[in-house]
C-alpha cells in the first residue's frame, strides 16, 4: 500500500504539472521553480525523519532542498537532563538531510518553551548561565559543519516589541540573547545564525526586533539573519507589513527567511494572540467547520494568498535566503491540534494524501515566470 500511495503521488504531480507546463518538459517542483531565487524548505516530524510517512518520503526530496526539525532538536528532546543528551533523533535528522544534500536548519538552541523540567528548577543565575553555555556549546559543536543554519534564539519578544520575561530573561537579563549568539558562533563558526520569531512583520514587534538585532550587532556578536515565521490566516496575510519588514531587516545588513510558513483556514478563538504555543482552547464543533473538506471558495482564497505572497517574495529575492513551510502536507500540520485539539485544517500546499492543491500550482507558476 505504501508503494502504491507513493506512485499515486508521483502520478498526480506529473499529471498536474503537465497541465501547467509545455508538453515534453520535465515535471516541475518547488525547489526547481525557485532555484534562482531562494531555498524552499519544509519542517519534518520524527516519523518523517524516520521515513515512516510514505507521502513525505516522496515529496520531501522531490519538492524541497532545505529542512527544519519540528521538535527533535528542541531542548526537552535533545537535552532532557542536566548531564544527559539524547542525540538519536537529531542525528537521524542531520543524516537524512546529509544523504540528500539538503540545507539543514537546527531549531532551536534557546527558547522559553519545551524546556525540560530541570531548567525551570535552576535557582541561581550562575547555574542557568552554565546550563546555557554547556547546552549551546555541546549541541552546536556536535553538528558543526553539518547543520548549515541555527535558530539561535526563538521568540524572545512580546507583541509590543518588549523582551519576553522568560526564565532566561528573569535570571540573566537581556544580555542573554547576545551571549547566546556569541556562544553559537564559537561552537559552530561556519554556521549561519538567525533570530526567529512570529508576528515580527507587525509594526510594534518589528520595532522591537530591529532594536534587538542592533543590540546583538553592537555587542560584537555575529547575527546573519532573521526568521519571520509566517503563521498567517486566510484572507489576512499582512502583505504590506511583510514588504516593509523585509526592507527594514535587510537594511541591517542581514538576510531574511520565512521560516514556518502556513496559512490557517479555520476560525480563530477570541482573545487569541499570535503563535504562542502555550495558548489552549476547548474543543467546539463550530470552530471545526470543514471536517470533510475545504469549500471551493476557500480553496481559491488559499491559492490567491499563496500566489500573492510568493510574488512578493520573488520581488525581494535578493534579500531572502529561504522559505520554509511548517509541514509537508495538511495531515502533519500543527494547526490540526493548536490552539484547539482535533480540528481539520488545510494550511499547506499538499493535502492529506500528499497530492498537490490548487495553491501549489499557483505558487509553482510564480516561480516558473
Domain contains 279: no
**Range with the lowest mean pLDDT among 24-28, 168-172, 315-319?**
24-28
In this predicted structure, the answer to whether residue 168 has a pLDDT above a threshold of 60 is yes
- Domain of residue 120 covers 30-264+287-368
pLDDT tens digits, residue range 113-149?
A: 999 999 999 999 999 999 999 999 999 999 999 999 9
In this predicted structure, the answer to whether residue 252 has a pLDDT above a threshold of 70 is yes
Cβ burial of 12 (10 Å; 0-12, 13-18, 19+) is middle
Q: What is the pLDDT of residue 274?
A: 64
Domain contains 161: yes
Task: Tell me the three cell numbers of residue 263.
Answer: 496559512
Kindly state the DSSP code that residue 84 receives in the 8-state scheme.
B
In this predicted structure, the answer to whether residue 6 has a pLDDT above a threshold of 80 is no
Domain contains 13: no
**Residue 319 sits in a domain of what CATH number?**
3.20.20.80
What Å distances lie between residue 151 and 55, 191, 257, 305, CA to CA?
27, 10, 11, 27
Q: How confident is the model at residue 5 (pLDDT cuts 50, 70, 90)?
A: very low
Q: What is the pLDDT of residue 18?
A: 40
Domain contains 215: yes
State whether residue 262 is helix, strand or coil: strand
pLDDT tens digits, residue range 86-106?
A: 999 999 999 999 999 999 999
State whether residue 279 is helix, strand or coil: coil
Q: What is the pLDDT of residue 285?
A: 78
**Contacts (Cβ under 8 Å, ≥6 apart) of 98:** 104, 146
Rounded mean pLDDT of the chain?
A: 92
Active-site entry in 260, 286, 299, 300 = 260
Distance (Å, rounded) from C-alpha 57 to C-alpha 64? 11
What Å distances lie between residue 303 and 38, 236, 296, CA to CA?
20, 13, 11
Distance (Å, rounded) from C-alpha 156 to C-alpha 153? 7
Distance (Å, rounded) from C-alpha 58 to C-alpha 221? 40
Domain contains 259: yes
Backbone dihedral region for residue 333 (phi beyond 0: left; psi -120 to 50: alpha; all else: beta): beta
Whose CA is closest to 131, among 116, 149, 113? 116
Domain contains 11: no
Whose CA is closest to 352, among 67, 55, 70, 71? 55
Distance (Å, rounded) from C-alpha 64 to C-alpha 146? 18
Cβ burial of 215 (10 Å; 0-12, 13-18, 19+) is middle
Segment (H or E) for 196: strand 192-197
Task: Tell me the three cell numbers of residue 344.
Answer: 481539520
**Count of structural domains, the chain:** 1
Q: What is the pLDDT of residue 209?
A: 98
Domain contains 135: yes
Distance (Å, rounded) from C-alpha 313 to C-alpha 259? 13
Task: Tell me the three cell numbers of residue 170.
Answer: 528573569
243 belongs to the catalytic site: no
| 19 touches 362 (CB < 8 A) | no
Number of residues that this document lists for the chain:
369
Q: What is the pLDDT of residue 19?
A: 41
Number of Cβ within 10 Å of residue 238's Cβ equals 16
Distance (Å, rounded) from C-alpha 320 to C-alpha 136? 26
**Predicted TM-score (pTM) of this structure:** 0.91
Per DSSP (E only), the strands in 241-319 are: 255-264
Domain contains 106: yes
Active-site entry in 70, 155, 179, 201 = 155
In this predicted structure, the answer to whether residue 14 has a pLDDT above a threshold of 60 is no
Q: What percentage of the chain has pLDDT greater than the value 90? A: 86
pLDDT tens digits, residue range 181-226?
A: 999 999 999 999 999 999 999 999 999 999 999 999 999 999 999 9
Rg (CA), the chain: 20
Q: How confident is the model at residue 357 (pLDDT cuts 50, 70, 90)?
A: very high
**Mean pLDDT to the nearest integer, 151-171:** 98
Q: What percentage of the chain has pLDDT greater than the value 70? A: 90
260 belongs to the catalytic site: yes
Amino acid at each position: 500500500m505504501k508503494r502504491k500511495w507513493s506512485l499515486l503521488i508521483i502520478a498526480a504531480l506529473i499529471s498536474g504539472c503537465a497541465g501547467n507546463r509545455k508538453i515534453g518538459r520535465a515535471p516541475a517542483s518547488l525547489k526547481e521553480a525557485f532555484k534562482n531565487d531562494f531555498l524552499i524548505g519544509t519542517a519534518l516530524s520524527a516519523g518523517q525523519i524516520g521515513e515512516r510517512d510514505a507521502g513525505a518520503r516522496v515529496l520531501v526530496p522531490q519538492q524541497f532542498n532545505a529542512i527544519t526539525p519540528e521538535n527533535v532538536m528542541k531542548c526537552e528532546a535533545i537535552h532532557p537532563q542536566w548531564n544527559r543528551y539524547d542525540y538519536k533523533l537529531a542525528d537521524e535528522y542531520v543524516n537524512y538531510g546529509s544523504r540528500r544534500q539538503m540545507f539543514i536548519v537546527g531549531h532551536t538552541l534557546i527558547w522559553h518553551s519545551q524546556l525540560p523540567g530541570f531548567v525551570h528548577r535552576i535557582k541561581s543565575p550562575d547555574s542557568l548561565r552554565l546550563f546555557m553555555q554547556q547546552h549551546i556549546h555541546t549541541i552546536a559543536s556536535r553538528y558543526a559543519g553539518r547543520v548549515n543554519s541555527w535558530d539561535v534564539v526563538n521568540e524572545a519578544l512580546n507583541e509590543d516589541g518588549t523582551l519576553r520575561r522568560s526564565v532566561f530573561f528573569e535570571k540573566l537579563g537581556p544580555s542573554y540573547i547576545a551571549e547566546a549568539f556569541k556562544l553559537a558562533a564559537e561552537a559552530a563558526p561556519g554556521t549561519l545564525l538567525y533570530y526567529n520569531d512570529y508576528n515580527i512583520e507587525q509594526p510594534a514587534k518589528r520595532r522591537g526586533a530591529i532594536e534587538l538585532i542592533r543590540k546583538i550587532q553592537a555587542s560584537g556578536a555575529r547575527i546573519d539573519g532573521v526568521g519571520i515565521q509566517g503563521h498567517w490566516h486566510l484572507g489576512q496575510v499582512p502583505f504590506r507589513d511583510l514588504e516593509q519588514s523585509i526592507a527594514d531587516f535587510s537594511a541591517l545588513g542581514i538576510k531574511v527567511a520565512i521560516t514556518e510558513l502556513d496559512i490557517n483556514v479555520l476560525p480563530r478563538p477570541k482573545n487569541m494572540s499570535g503563535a504562542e504555543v502555550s495558548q489552549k482552547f476547548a474543543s467546539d464543533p463550530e470552530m471545526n467547520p470543514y471536517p470533510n473538506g475545504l469549500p471551493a471558495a476557500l480553496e481559491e482564497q488559499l491559492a490567491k494568498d499563496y500566489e500573492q505572497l510568493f510574488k512578493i517574495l520573488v520581488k525581494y529575492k535578493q534579500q531572502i535566503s529561504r522559505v520554509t513551510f511548517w509541514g509537508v502536507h495538511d495531515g502533519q500540520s500543527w494547526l490540526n491540534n493548536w490552539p484547539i485539539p482535533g480540528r481539520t485544517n488545510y494550511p499547506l500546499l499538499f493535502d492529506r494524501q500528499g497530492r498537490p492543491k490548487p495553491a501549489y500550482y499557483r505558487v509553482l507558476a510564480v516561480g516558473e515566470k
